Amino acid sequence: MNLFSTFRVAVLALLLNKMRSFLTVLGIIIGVGSVIAMVAIGEGAKAEVQRAFDKMGTNLLVIRSGSAQTSGVRGGAGSQPTLLWTDVDAIRKETLYVTKVAPSLRQSVQILGEGKNWTTSAEGTTPEYFEIRNWTFQYGGPFNEQDVSTKAKVAVLGGTVVDNLFGNGADAVGSTVRINNVPFEVIGVLARKGQAATGQDADDVVMVPAGTFAAKVQGGLRQYLGGSIYVGAATPDDTRRAQAEITQLLRARHKLRDDEADDFTVSSLAEAASARQEGTETMTRLLAGIALVSLLVGGIGIMNIMLVSVTERTREIGLRMAIGARPGDILIQFVIEAVVLASVGGLLGVGLGFGVATYLSSEFGWATKIDPQIVALALGSSALVGIGFGLYPAHKASRLDPIQALRYE
C-alpha cells in the first residue's frame, strides 16, 4: 500500500468524525498556539532590547567617580569626584584594548534660541564620544579636537532641542543658541535615537566641547573631572579585557592600597545586555517546558482516541487483513492517522499563535517576532507526538486476529 493512499485513507477516516478529531487535537492546538504566541512576544522583546543597546553603543564601558563616604553615610556613585582629567589621557595611552576614550560632563542648562527657551541636559565631551555612542548627524557634523582645546563656542543639538527651539526637524546649523547666556554657534544636529533603554529621551541633549563646557558651564577648569569617562573597545572580549586594564591602571594612578576599595566604578553595557539575554533565555526554556507538557497531554488525548478508533473499526481491520493487508500495512495506516491528527493540530496551533501574536502587536503595539525555527520545531514535535502516541494503538490494531476481528460486533 503506497504512502499517498494511506494518507488519503487517514484523512478520510478523520473527516468522518470531524468534531471528535477537532476535540482530540484541541490540546495540541492550544499548547502549540500559546507557545508560538509567547515565543513571538519574547523574541520581539528581545529584539527590542537588542536594538536599544545597539543604539546606546555596544562594546562600551562607563567609568564613574566613586562614592563619597562621610561619617559612615555613603553617597551614590559619582558623589565624590575622584576621576582626574589626566586619567582620560592615561587611559588612552597606557591601555592595549581601549580604542576610544571620551569624557562626558553633564549638567542641566537653560538654552535659548530664536526667542524660545528650553531646559535640557548639556554634555561636554570630545569628538570621539560621537563614535563611542554611535551618534550620527542629521545636519552638519561634530566639533573637532581643536574646538576642544581652544574652548570654541560651538554646539551640537539633539533632535528634541531643535524641535523646541527651531520647530520640528528644522536645520539649525549656523544659528546661534545661548547656553546659560553664553552664545554658541550650532554646527550640527544629531540624528534621532528616540527613547533610551532607561526611558529617557536620548535626543534631549546639547553637546559642546569638553573644554568649553568646563570653562563656560561648570565655571572654571578644575583638576577633577566632574562627570564620567566613556571608553570604547573593538569586540565584546576586548571590552572585558579593557575593563580589567582600566581598573588596574586607575587603582595605580589613584594610589590605592591593596586593602582599599576602588574609588571609581567601571560598568559595562554588554554585561547588562547579556543579563537581559539570559533572562529571556530562561523564559524560553520555561516556555519549552510548557510546550512539552502540553504536547504530552495532547499526545495522551490522541492515544486515547486512537484506541477508541481501533476498537470501533475492528471489523474494518479484520476485512483489510482478510483481503491482503499485512500487519505492517495496518500499523502504518494507524500511525499515519495519528500523525495527520497531531500535525493538523500543530498546524492549527501555529495559525492560532500567529493570530494571537498579530492581534497583540496591532492592538497593544507589542513587538512580536515569529521565528520560523520555532514554527518548524512546533510542527516537527507535533508529528513526533503523533508517531509516539499513535504507535501503541497502531501496534494493537496490527496484532488483531483477522478471524476474531471479522466476527467482532
Partner 1 sequence: MSEPILEATDLVKTYKMEDVEVRALRGVSLAVRPGEFVSIMGTSGSGKSTMMNILGCLDRPTSGSYKLAGSEVSKLGRGDLATVRNKVLGFVFQSFNLLARTSAQENVELPMVYAGVGAAERHERAIASLEKVGLGKRLDHTPAQLSGGQQQRVAIARAIVNRPKVILADEPTGNLDSRTSIEIMALFQELGRSGITIVLVTHEPDIAEFTNRVVMMRDGKVLSDVTQTPVDAREALANLKEGE
Max intra-chain CA distance, the chain: 106
Closest CB to partner 1 among 163 and 316? 316
In the complex, the smallest distance separating the C-beta of residue 16 from partner 1, rounded to whole angstroms, is 6
Measured from the Cβ of residue 322, the count of other Cβ atoms closer than 10 Å reads 12
In whole angstroms, how close is the CB of 10 to partner 1 at the nearest point? 13
- Least distance to partner 1 from the beta carbon of 326, Å? 4
Q: Do residues 220 and 240 lie in contact, with contact meaning Cβ atoms separated by under 8 Å? A: no
Q: Closest CB to partner 1 among 12 and 196? A: 12
Q: Which is nearer to partner 1, 16 or 252 (CB)?
A: 16
For residue 68 the three cell numbers come to 563619597
Nearer to partner 1 by C-beta: 1 or 90?
1
DSSP codes joined into one string, 91-150: HHHH-SSEEEEEEEEEEEEEEEETTEEEEEEEEEE-THHHHHTT--EEEE----HHHHHT
Among 1-9, 57-65, 119-127, 369-377, the segment contacting partner 1 (CB under 8 A):
1-9
The Cα–Cα gap between 154 and 208 comes to 6
Q: Which of residues 198-227 bind partner 1 (CB under 8 A)?
A: none
Strand (E) or helix (H) holding 279: helix 269-312
Hey, which residues between 349 and 408 contact partner 1 (CB under 8 A)?
Answer: 402-403, 406
* Per-residue x/- track, 275-314, partner 1 (CB under 8 A): ----------------------------------------
Distance (Å, whole) CA 195 – CA 304: 53
Residues in region 311-350 near partner 1 by CB under 8 A? 315-316, 318-329
Our CB check for partner 1 shows the closer of 7 and 137 to be 7
User: Is position 1 an interface residue for partner 1 (rule: CB under 8 A)?
Assistant: yes
Minimum CB–partner distance for residue 341 and partner 1 (Å):
19
Nearer to partner 1, 363 or 409 (CB): 409
- Of 251 and 396, which has the nearer Cβ to partner 1? 396
CB 26 to partner 1: min, Å = 24
Please state, in angstroms and rounded to a whole number, the distance separating the CA atoms of residues 282 and 287.
Answer: 9
Question: Which residue number, 116 or 407, has a Cβ lying nearer to partner 1?
Answer: 407
CB of residue 327 vs partner 1: minimum separation in angstroms? 6
Is beta strand 137-140 parallel, antiparallel or unpaired with respect to 182-190?
antiparallel
Please state the closest distance from residue 307 (CB atom) to partner 1, in A.
20
User: Least distance in Å: CB of 332 to partner 1?
Assistant: 12
Q: How many residues of this chain interact with partner 1, rule: CB under 8 A? A: 21
Among 16, 47, 221, 244, binds partner 1 (CB under 8 A): 16
Residue 163 burial by CB count (10 A; 0-12/13-18/19+): exposed, middle or buried?
middle
Least Å from the CB of residue 400 to partner 1: 11
Is 3 an interacting residue with respect to partner 1 (CB under 8 A)?
A: no
Distances (CA, A) of 375 to 269, 293, 383: 32, 17, 12
Residue 48 in the binding site for partner 1 (CB under 8 A): no
Q: Which is nearer to partner 1, 8 or 93 (by Cβ)?
A: 8
Q: d(Cα 164, Cα 217) in Å, to the nearest integer?
A: 21
Shortest Cβ distance from residue 393 to partner 1 (Å)?
19
Q: Tell me which H or E stretch contains 11.
A: helix 3-16
By beta-carbon proximity to partner 1, the closer residue of 20 and 326 is: 326
**Long-range CB contacts for residues 168-175, cutoff 8 Å, separation at least 24:** 171/139, 172/113, 172/139, 173/139, 173/140, 175/113, 175/114
Give Cβ neighbours of residue 247 (< 8 Å, ≥ 6 apart).
262, 266
Q: How far is CA 279 from the centre of its chain?
A: 10
Q: Which three cell numbers stand for residue 385?
A: 507526538
Rounded least distance, CB 407 to partner 1, Å? 10
Q: Which is nearer to partner 1, 94 or 316 (CB)?
A: 316
Which residues of this chain interact with partner 1, rule CB under 8 A? 1-2, 5, 16, 315-316, 318-329, 402-403, 406
